[in-house]
Structure formats: C-alpha cells, structure tokens
Amino acid sequence: IAEALGYEATKRRWLHRAALLHDIGKLAISNTILDKPAKLTDEEFAVIKTHPVHSQNIISGVAAFADMADIAGHHHERIDGKGYPHGLKGDEINFETRIVTTADVFDALTADRPYRKAMTPVEAFAIMDKDIGTAFDPTCIAALKSALRRAELAAAA
C-alpha cells in the first residue's frame, strides 16, 4: 500500500516494522480466546479489544520503536468513530495507521482462522468495500487494489 502511494523506501521500512509490531499486545491475551474456534462471548471480545492498548504500551516503552506506538494503539479505530479502544474518528487517526488498518483487515480476511477458512481477495474486498469511508480510508483501499493488480500482472508475465 505504501509503495503504491509513493512512500520512499525508508518510510516503507519504518511502516513495515510498525505493521509487524502492531499486534504484539496479543501476547497479553489468552490463547484460549485468540484460538477459540467459535463465536466469542461479549466478555471475551472485551478482552480482545484491550490488545491495542497493550501493543501501544509495549511499543512505546522501547525507544527504537516508540514512534510506532500510536499505529499499534489505533489500528482498530474507524473513520466514523465506531472503532476501539479510544473511539477516534476522522483526522484523529493518522494516515500511516489507516494504511496498517487496511492491510491488517485484508490479511485477516484472506488468512485461515480457527473459526473460518481464508477468503479470496475478491470476497475480502466485497466486505471491505462496504466500509469505505466509515472504517477504511478510500485512498488506502484503492492503493491496496492497485498493488495487488500490479503483483498479479507481474506474476503472470
């Protein structure tokens, strides 16, 4: 996404590191919840919703990564303010976080999970497209689609 948006290599590497670290707070969540093959209870989902705070706290405590902490802490926020953990909306969510959020959700939808099989990219975009402008930044979705088209063309060549 960052490459499709024209980010320079140094910034892309930084953003890649932030993306790799954004869910580190899941280490504070029990595997019985993370790996549950059925629907989570309200209480279990409340526990899951704490992982961005844990991620932000862990990352902010490491000087080399501290400038990535907000991405980790805000990656489940939504443009319409209906995300978590802080209910941020609109410009309160920085653009790099919007990039990571888009990539994170696409990855989650297109990967096998304990409770469902991976979706195809077409199926994932059908879901994500419904939330453009409310959950996802339209520029980030367009950049992801563009990057995937380029990758498909390169693979076919």
- Determine the Cα–Cα distance for residues 85 and 117; give it in Å rounded to an integer: 27
pLDDT tens for each residue of 8-58: 999 999 999 999 999 999 999 999 999 998 899 999 999 999 999 999 999
- Determine the Cα–Cα distance for residues 65 and 17; give it in Å rounded to an integer: 9
Residue matched to tokens 């209480």: 43
Query: Which pLDDT value is given to residue 116?
Result: 87
Q: Quote the pTM value.
A: 0.94
- Determine the Cα–Cα distance for residues 40 and 94; give it in Å rounded to an integer: 30
Three-state SS at 82: coil
Question: Residues 61, 67, 70, 72: is their CA dihedral positive or negative?
Answer: negative
Would you call 26 a catalytic residue per the annotation?
yes
Question: Can you tell me the mean pLDDT for 58-66?
Answer: 97
Instruction: Let me know if 76 is exposed, middle or buried by CB neighbors in 10 A (0-12, 13-18, 19+).
Output: buried
Kind plus residue range of the DSSP H or E element containing 121: helix 121-129
Query: Which pLDDT value is given to residue 120?
Result: 95
Q: Which of 26, 36, 49, 89 is catalytic?
A: 26
Query: Which pLDDT value is given to residue 49?
Result: 97
Question: Can you tell me the mean pLDDT for 54-65?
Answer: 97
Query: Which pLDDT value is given to residue 44?
Result: 97
Q: How many CA atoms lie less than 13 Å away from 31 in the CB half-sphere?
A: 0
Cβ contact 137:98 at 8 Å: yes
Query: Which pLDDT value is given to residue 88?
Result: 98
Query: Which pLDDT value is given to residue 113?
Result: 86
Conformation bin of residue 81: beta by default, left when phi > 0, alpha when psi is -120 to 50: left
> How would residue 80 be classed by pLDDT, with cut points 50, 70 and 90?
very high
Query: Which pLDDT value is given to residue 53?
Result: 97
pLDDT tens for each residue of 104-154: 999 999 999 887 899 999 999 999 999 999 999 999 999 999 999 988 888
**How many CB atoms neighbour CB 27 within 10 A?**
12
